[in-house]
Structure 1
Amino acid sequence: MATVTRENIGLLNDKITVKVSQEDYLPNFDKAVKQLSKTANIPGFRKGMVPAGMVKKMHGQAIFADEILKTVEKELMGYIQNEKLEIFAQPLSLDKEAKNFDHNSPAEYDFAFEVGLKPNFSVTPLEDGKTSLVRYRIKATPEMVNEEVERLQLRGGKSNEVEAVTEDDNVLYLTAEEADAQGNVIEGGHTKETSFLFKNFTAAAQAQLKGKKKDDSIVIKAADAVDADKLNWFLHDVLGLHGDSAEKYFKLTITKIELIEKRELNEEFFKEVFPAETIATEEAFRDKLRSEIEKSWDAESRNHLHNELFEVLVHETPIELPKDFLKRWLQTGGEKPKTAEEADKEYPGFDHQLRWTLISDKLIRENKLDVSFEEVKESAKQKVMGYFGGAAATDGADWLDSYLERLLQDEKFVDQTYREMVTQKLFDWAENKVNVKEEEITAEEFAKLPNKHHHHEH
């Protein structure tokens, strides 16, 4: 009869030994041989009439080894389940050499595995108000409102193609290619077709671009292209970049230059910008824009607060991990084997994400922070309405329900939306467990705040 024993070999690191004898695997071996004899196609024998002895002679060794390993796996996983062991990943084999299986001489076999055990821990930063964070408030200045009014006037204005960059209101259509400081395009680097208003570049960048024509190019560092308060927007929305990319260089090649006639500030224009509102005056239009700008900054501030909270939880929650086991697992657990040096290099980022996974799983499970399918559906609906703007503003739009139905059949979309929502629900919950004080600062000051990390989805 099979036996399973366990011993500790390190911090949260145990050795499990599975011992199997003939009586554990031979019945299944004989059964597998008989089954194959009924289905095998072997020249000289009718299908279903192949002697078991012939099957053993031709395939016995492979079947024998397979049945032993199946028995061992069943015993190992059964033990882990019965003992309620919370383990990382999969058990790793400690057997350095392959076993010598011989179906003609059945024997007793030992198999040794090591497992990494998940730790017990408390999320101490959320206990008794130990953590204090700041929520920043950014007020929309008249300059911000003026810029947004002008941007919208240009967005909705009539465009005319021109030969050279000469006016502040020129829109430059660009191919942005990641390059080195000398302008040599990096093979496999980031590339984006984009457009940008000339006057939103820095004075230094404008000096390089002034007078340029179609197919001309400049080389510039992303951080030098725009002022600090526009940098995040420029990186994410214009260049399509994520993370810390401000120090990257780009070759910007002009593909087209336009001059746009600005829209008049009238009720028709106000209705196009805010189709669900009734706005009659420029003053009311500016007030609405001011409110929307501040909402946008509130969202940025909330993300900043949650990123700070993420870092506090990951770095200040005391969690012991079986580091050596996890490094060994990194070497063998992925699609491609890694060297010990590669695992060492990869481990810090892996450790960071693993801690977050442990913390978020614990908080979501213990506090029942779940998301229903109806909530996912409503979120999907809001996304669709965001994509299509005024066209989807009316709930009764004929196409909306059918479009949503197709979208919700996409498992990848549903899973992504669920993860985003449950992570957001987790941060909203955790935010109420820390001391949050408010502080009013300018957009320029906010842009200079250290952005430690973009928190991960669950």
Structure 2
Amino acid sequence: MNVSLQNIDKVSAQLTVKLEKADYQGKVDKSLKSLRQKAQIPGFRQGMVPLSLIKKMYGKSVIAEEVNKTLQEAVYNYIKENKVNMLGEPLPNEEKQQAIDFDTMEEFDFVFDIALAPEFKAEVDTKDKVDYYTIKVSDEMVENQVKMYTQRTGKYDKVDVYEENDMLKGLLAQLDDEGNTKESGIQVEGAVLMPSYMKNDDQKAIFANAKINDVLVFNPNVAYDGHEAELASLLKIDKAIAKDVKSNFSFQIEEITRFVPGDLNQEVFDQAFGEGVVKTEEEFRAKIKENIAARFVADSDYKFLIDIRKVLMEKVGKLEFPDALLKRIMLLNNEEKGEEYVAENYDKSIEELTWHLIKEQLVESNNIKVEQEDVLKMAKETTKAQFAQYGMLSIPDDVLDNYAQEMLKKKETINNLVSRVVEVKLAEVLKAKVTLENKVVSMEEFNKMFE
């Protein structure tokens, strides 16, 4: 076997592999013997089929398979051992690659086109100034989180006078044009209303300061802006006819229910952060603010990577790529989309490839490594962030472990976690190398940066 690489230019090369019979014949013989042991052919006991018959039946396909395996191993080993920085996969040379005939040939020459990564140097230093945005944790964010906890321990009380957000229960009856209860009209006993959710302010105002036993007249169709799903739910009728019911209805109030949030007490503090971690409302709010700020760090780092990407791309400049070869590779990977897709998306793919190469170089030059414990930690942090969205800030370690282990059962999830670990570590390294222009912004201002 002979494998050689000839550079065509700075970013492309030809890889030639010459296979002789001795390179693959041993594997062919082994495969044929294995087939002989397994073959079940009428007239022969298993394992007793003549080898000559096996060769006649399967010889060509076995040779093709073993030559292909040997070829792939040769290419892979050469690229790995010689540290060839290849882009994409090797493609058969369209001019020099001869047709292969396994019936007549015993020696084979393979010629591949290889796309090489361009050489460049990616680095930053203190002369590079990059904005770093810290998202301000507003009082409203903290208050919303506090409300989430107090609502969990809240209760429903029966009251006599309606206030906004109260729930009403009573008898709903359809009226005729004269304002009387319509004979054979729609009636719903125990109908539940929350006027706060009505879309029409005039209809909503009808219920202001209403009391038990009051009889109020309103128009559901107007109140809910003709939304058939809401009307059907309230009137207990089919959606198909709900939007056509435009009558006024009377509503006799039988019950008014009000949700009363729970108190901020030690029980709530312990549920949120663990027993005895915080002991006062002031400490509780401070801890919530601290947790929200910690979650925002990932967003700030994400924006930092976007901004430093621009800096690095400008410093590296436009790189030389073997465009024709890369377009062939792109077309091969997107055959069903065709050449038009390649033409429309090639420039964008080159931009992403450039950034990918820059990141790879930075990871290597800064000795960034991803260990198993890093991936597990990221899985736990991802799980904690998901729970935090629902106000669950103190999750037992065994629960986090269980969720994290489930995430690590999926290869795609592991790849995503590894990528996130790399970005977190890369952001930390680069933040220490450049000069950060620290800026504090609101969540609204931060989000506008991505519009």
From the CA coordinates, give the structure whose radius of gyration is larger. 2
Aligned to 1:432: 432
Structure 1 residue 363 displacement after superposition: 2.3
| Whole-Å separation in 2 of the counterparts to 1:138 and 1:67 | 59
Aligned to 1:185: none
One-letter amino acid of the counterpart of residue 430, structure 1: L
Structure 1 residue 101 displacement after superposition: 1.6
Kept in 2, the 8 Å contact 1:131–1:435? The answer is yes
| Whole-Å separation in 1 of the counterparts to 2:34 and 2:432 | 62
Distance 1:25 1:285, change over 3 A: closer
In terms of mean alpha carbon deviation, does 303-312 or 267-276 score higher?
267-276
| Whole-Å separation in 2 of the counterparts to 1:136 and 1:100 | 60
Aligned to 1:80: 79
| Whole-Å separation in 2 of the counterparts to 1:347 and 1:419 | 24
Offset from partner CA, 1:317-364 (integer Å, 9 cap, x none): 344333332221122246x65422223334345334433332233222
One-letter amino acid of the counterpart of residue 260, structure 2: E
Structure 1 residue 106 displacement after superposition: 3.6
Offset from partner CA, 1:413-454 (integer Å, 9 cap, x none): 555444322321111111111110222344443333x228xx
One-letter amino acid of the counterpart of residue 135, structure 1: Y
Stretches of structure 2 lacking an aligned partner (at least 5 in a row): 168-195, 205-220, 232-256
| Whole-Å separation in 1 of the counterparts to 2:164 and 2:266 | 28
Stretches of structure 1 lacking an aligned partner (at least 5 in a row): 171-197, 218-257, 453-458
User: TM-score, normalised to structure 1's length?
Assistant: 0.63
Structure 1 residue 109 displacement after superposition: 3.6
Q: 1:136 aligns with which of 129, 133, 138?
A: 133
| Whole-Å separation in 1 of the counterparts to 2:142 and 2:222 | 27
RMSD: 4.4
What's the secondary structure of 1:91's corresponding residue?
A: strand
Aligned to 1:330: 330
Q: What are the residue-to-residue correspondences of 1:59-208 with 2, within 5 Å? A: 59-95=58-94, 99-103=99-103, 105-106=104-105, 108-124=107-123, 126=124, 128-142=125-139, 145-146=142-143, 148-150=145-147, 152-154=149-151, 156-158=153-155, 167=164
Structure 1 residue 293 displacement after superposition: 4.9
Distance 1:315 1:331, change over 3 A: farther
In the alignment, does 2:362 pair up with 1:363?
Answer: yes
User: TM-score, normalised to structure 2's length?
Assistant: 0.64
Distance 1:17 1:279, change over 3 A: same
Kept in 2, the 8 Å contact 1:328–1:340? The answer is no
What's the secondary structure of 1:114's corresponding residue?
A: strand
Aligned to 2:229: 215
| Whole-Å separation in 2 of the counterparts to 1:377 and 1:279 | 32
Kept in 2, the 8 Å contact 1:22–1:106? The answer is no
In the alignment, does 2:15 pair up with 1:16?
Answer: yes
One-letter amino acid of the counterpart of residue 349, structure 2: F
Distance 1:34 1:41, change over 3 A: same
Kept in 2, the 8 Å contact 1:384–1:392? The answer is no
Structure 1 residue 134 displacement after superposition: 1.6
| Whole-Å separation in 1 of the counterparts to 2:404 and 2:430 | 33
One-letter amino acid of the counterpart of residue 59, structure 1: Y
Structure 1 residue 52 displacement after superposition: 3.9
| Whole-Å separation in 2 of the counterparts to 1:300 and 1:264 | 33
| Whole-Å separation in 2 of the counterparts to 1:3 and 1:436 | 53
| Whole-Å separation in 2 of the counterparts to 1:81 and 1:140 | 49
Q: When the two structures are aligned, how many residues end up with a matched partner?
A: 365
Q: How much identity, in percent, do the aligned residues show?
A: 27
Offset from partner CA, 1:159-207 (integer Å, 9 cap, x none): 699xxxx94789xxxxxxxxxxxxxxxxxxxxxxxxxxx89x9x9xx9x
Offset from partner CA, 1:11-65 (integer Å, 9 cap, x none): 5121223334555555655565555445433333444443444334333332343
Structure 1 residue 123 displacement after superposition: 0.9
